[in-house]
Structure 1
């Protein structure tokens, strides 16, 4: 059997990332012999895919039947989407399983900024990576394959990474154009199908975000230096996630970011009080001179501000001296200086592992595995974080396994000069190989995938419940 490819495949694109990525990807796929179809759901989609697409203006309730009929009529082989938790994508996995189609899901990279994510059937909590720890065991067996790599340059070489650089302003530019177009075209489209509000009332949040970024640069100018010197290894970093992130609403048991903040602060306060009562765990480090630092998500800067909430929580738990709230400091520097990092399931946890920081995961994350992250309860992590520092070579092997199975080098938002594909991502046959593994034929592949996804779904639900119980303070 030859290597899998898109030649002769009938590909359906649904919603993609903001910007022209899907438009350029369609060109790349056609150039490799595929026939490409596309659905647009609002004027923002149309702006970046203006020709050769179907327009869906109906209700969310009527969408699954429309999609099923289209997939059957056009004999679709594979559906490609960006994000598997968007309203218009929620039904796609089941439909693909029922109709024997492949499903490929793009998402922001697990290893940013140099990678994007592409997996069959789902990402994040829906990912099949690491099922039964097979991939992790594979990475673990490679520990002695090469000497430890001490530099980032050496790590990039080991991962065969082409550097992408900062894409924030590219993403912001495409995002503003997308949402402005969607607002202008709202009378002709059902903007309620999108996972984010697309009204003119949302526009000020973008400008507020830019304004706050400038203000925080002035107001918090000395905080990073203080944390990285005076408080070096004496603070815990808590990176917050976007308020409406599916990682919170779908892949964790937290109802909101505020609920997570409350749990973290309560747990820290109890651990501090236990130490004062003489109940510190054996071998634990003191918390008396530590700080608890909450870092706001940069993409949430204009939409949420947790200052008042954190102040009230700090007063409730007697932590006015310990709690800090920061915004736009250099994340890698903070990760290197932190005693430990606490996340729900953010990809910042992966970055933290790469910088040698002990990590405690409070939700369901594909990197929450023995020998990588702290597996005990959150309340003991505060004193025992130093015992959970990851082994650098082990982290590198895990990243190599992650890259080979889930990541694509490149960016959704800017073109990479070295990339031969118009879309800006090094695909090199990896998409087709992940969608149609060479070791099975199509019929077997579909059957195997069905059972794999069902088993994986049960395992992920169990993992989420277990993670929640483990993280209780």
Structure 2
């Protein structure tokens, strides 16, 4: 109970939060696809308490399982979704569409309809920008599509607030459980939603094989992890830059970056490091923990490191916790990961190579990767606190989309 009261107090401070704008200006709200689990069902109940009329369209059996009542099942082809949605909006006088993730096929179609209709608004839930245990909610789009200002002058008058950095309970097992249930019912009801186009691979065998491989790789990494951690703590790689990789299939890479491939970024970073970084420095490339079973860049990194004569200075690591690396690193290179925010929190020089909402003059390095290695500057601490305060007040919700008992206690 105290936990939820703390959430309530946190959001009561944020009268300009996007959630307030939604409930105060909108009446008929349509939910499209949400995250796996009961999150959207809980959101619907909360919206109804504020007098909103909530509608839901299910696109597959997994959607239907977690939101079975008071919903409509769209079973036609994706090519006909636009016309169907326009008719649905008109029939029920929909004024807002709420989704989880704005780059899925059906959500992009919905966004295009909203963009051509001044009476409609588009709202997006996403994993939290502040990690862990936060949820993002924005108007119009998230990540590279975010409306958050990138003008550093905008933040000069923002009041600094205390950010709740308490750790909530782990959601890993809930997420795993919901994933299994979701995909089982997606398969079981494929006959009903035969025209559905998913944004990811849907084969249970595919995921079973990938997660088995991920487990093997993580167990292998654990054998050498203590040595790597010891090397970092003992400054064996001093000084070093950290380059945290991202999931190649993630929309942050596929949509919100310039090269749309982690391999291309690995090539660019290693080449630049070899040519422009101090010859005594190291580059630690950290594999993304959720990408273990899907990609492995060991051969590529070795090949590039040998080609550019930095094989002893480029280290490919798995499993080492980011906080340990952030406390010892002298700089962080990222495409647009939330690790960039973590780097800023630790006062590190950070450069974002893709489209990142925190890529702001005074926070991140703006003069290019080649100059970053020797000219990278620490972020303006006060500017960052103002930016983070605004980010939290405007778009962040304490909690996790995978908590079974998650409730929005905003009054």
Query: What is the TM-score with the length of structure 1 in the denominator?
Result: 0.77
Aligned residues of 2:282 and 2:313 also touching (Cα < 8 A): yes
C-alpha displacement at 1:5, in angstroms? 6.3
After TM superposition, list the pairs within 5 Å mapping 1:112-151 onto structure 2: 112-130=131-149, 133=151, 136-142=152-158
Going from structure 1 to structure 2, the CA distance change for 1:221 and 1:57 (only over 3 Å counts) comes to farther
What is the aligned counterpart of 2:211 among 198, 206, 212?
206
Alpha-carbon distance between aligned partners in 2 of 1:65 and 1:185, rounded to the nearest angstrom: 24
After TM superposition, list the pairs within 5 Å mapping 1:185-264 onto structure 2: 185-190=189-194, 193-203=197-207, 204-231=209-236, 234-264=239-269
Q: Secondary structure of 1:329's partner?
A: coil
Aligned residues of 1:14 and 1:79 also touching (Cα < 8 A): yes
Alpha-carbon distance between aligned partners in 1 of 2:403 and 2:381, rounded to the nearest angstrom: 31
Q: Does 1:302 align with 2:293?
A: yes
C-alpha displacement at 1:359, in angstroms? 0.4
Aligned residues of 1:232 and 1:337 also touching (Cα < 8 A): no
| Structure 1: runs of 5+ lacking an equivalent | 147-156, 273-286, 416-421, 430-473
Alpha-carbon distance between aligned partners in 2 of 1:191 and 1:224, rounded to the nearest angstrom: 49
In structure 2, what is the equivalent of residue 462 of structure 1?
A: none
Aligned residues of 1:410 and 1:425 also touching (Cα < 8 A): no
In structure 1, what is the equivalent of residue 399 of structure 2?
A: 410
Q: Deviations over 1:40-82 (max 9, x none)?
A: 1112212211222211222221111111111111111211000
Going from structure 1 to structure 2, the CA distance change for 1:231 and 1:171 (only over 3 Å counts) comes to farther
Aligned residues of 1:167 and 1:413 also touching (Cα < 8 A): yes
In structure 2, what is the equivalent of residue 377 of structure 1?
A: 368
Moved >3 Å (runs of 4+): 3-8, 160-163, 422-426
Aligned residues of 2:46 and 2:408 also touching (Cα < 8 A): no
In structure 2, what is the equivalent of residue 173 of structure 1?
A: 177
Going from structure 1 to structure 2, the CA distance change for 1:234 and 1:180 (only over 3 Å counts) comes to farther
Alpha-carbon distance between aligned partners in 2 of 1:231 and 1:370, rounded to the nearest angstrom: 33
Q: Secondary structure of 1:236's partner?
A: strand
Q: Secondary structure of 2:363's partner?
A: coil
Alpha-carbon distance between aligned partners in 1 of 2:237 and 2:315, rounded to the nearest angstrom: 15
Q: Does 1:20 align with 2:20?
A: no
Q: Deviations over 1:189-243 (max 9, x none)?
A: 2475211010133222123223322332223222123123324651111111111
In structure 2, what is the equivalent of residue 468 of structure 1?
A: none
In structure 1, what is the equivalent of residue 74 of structure 2?
A: 56
C-alpha displacement at 1:162, in angstroms? 5.4
Alpha-carbon distance between aligned partners in 1 of 2:372 and 2:106, rounded to the nearest angstrom: 39
C-alpha displacement at 1:188, in angstroms? 2.8
Alpha-carbon distance between aligned partners in 2 of 1:393 and 1:110, rounded to the nearest angstrom: 19
Alpha-carbon distance between aligned partners in 2 of 1:191 and 1:301, rounded to the nearest angstrom: 31
Q: Does 1:345 align with 2:345?
A: no
After superposing the two structures, state which structure 1 stretch, 390-399 or 78-87, moved more: 390-399
What is the aligned counterpart of 1:101 among 117, 120, 137?
120
In structure 2, what is the equivalent of residue 368 of structure 1?
A: 359
What is the aligned counterpart of 1:83 among 90, 98, 101?
101
| Structure 2: runs of 5+ lacking an equivalent | 1-19
Q: Secondary structure of 2:242's partner?
A: strand
C-alpha displacement at 1:168, in angstroms? 3.0
Aligned residues of 1:216 and 1:327 also touching (Cα < 8 A): yes
Alpha-carbon distance between aligned partners in 1 of 2:408 and 2:302, rounded to the nearest angstrom: 43
Alpha-carbon distance between aligned partners in 2 of 1:192 and 1:314, rounded to the nearest angstrom: 43
Aligned residues of 2:286 and 2:317 also touching (Cα < 8 A): yes
Query: What is the TM-score with the length of structure 2 in the denominator?
Result: 0.88
Alpha-carbon distance between aligned partners in 1 of 2:269 and 2:88, rounded to the nearest angstrom: 47
Going from structure 1 to structure 2, the CA distance change for 1:212 and 1:397 (only over 3 Å counts) comes to same
Aligned residues of 2:237 and 2:282 also touching (Cα < 8 A): no
Alpha-carbon distance between aligned partners in 2 of 1:102 and 1:307, rounded to the nearest angstrom: 45
Q: Does 1:293 align with 2:297?
A: no
Q: Say what the alpha-carbon RMSD is for the aligned residues.
A: 2.2
Alpha-carbon distance between aligned partners in 1 of 2:148 and 2:274, rounded to the nearest angstrom: 36
Q: How many aligned positions are there?
A: 389
Q: Does 1:6 align with 2:18?
A: no
Alpha-carbon distance between aligned partners in 1 of 2:194 and 2:333, rounded to the nearest angstrom: 39
Alpha-carbon distance between aligned partners in 2 of 1:169 and 1:291, rounded to the nearest angstrom: 36
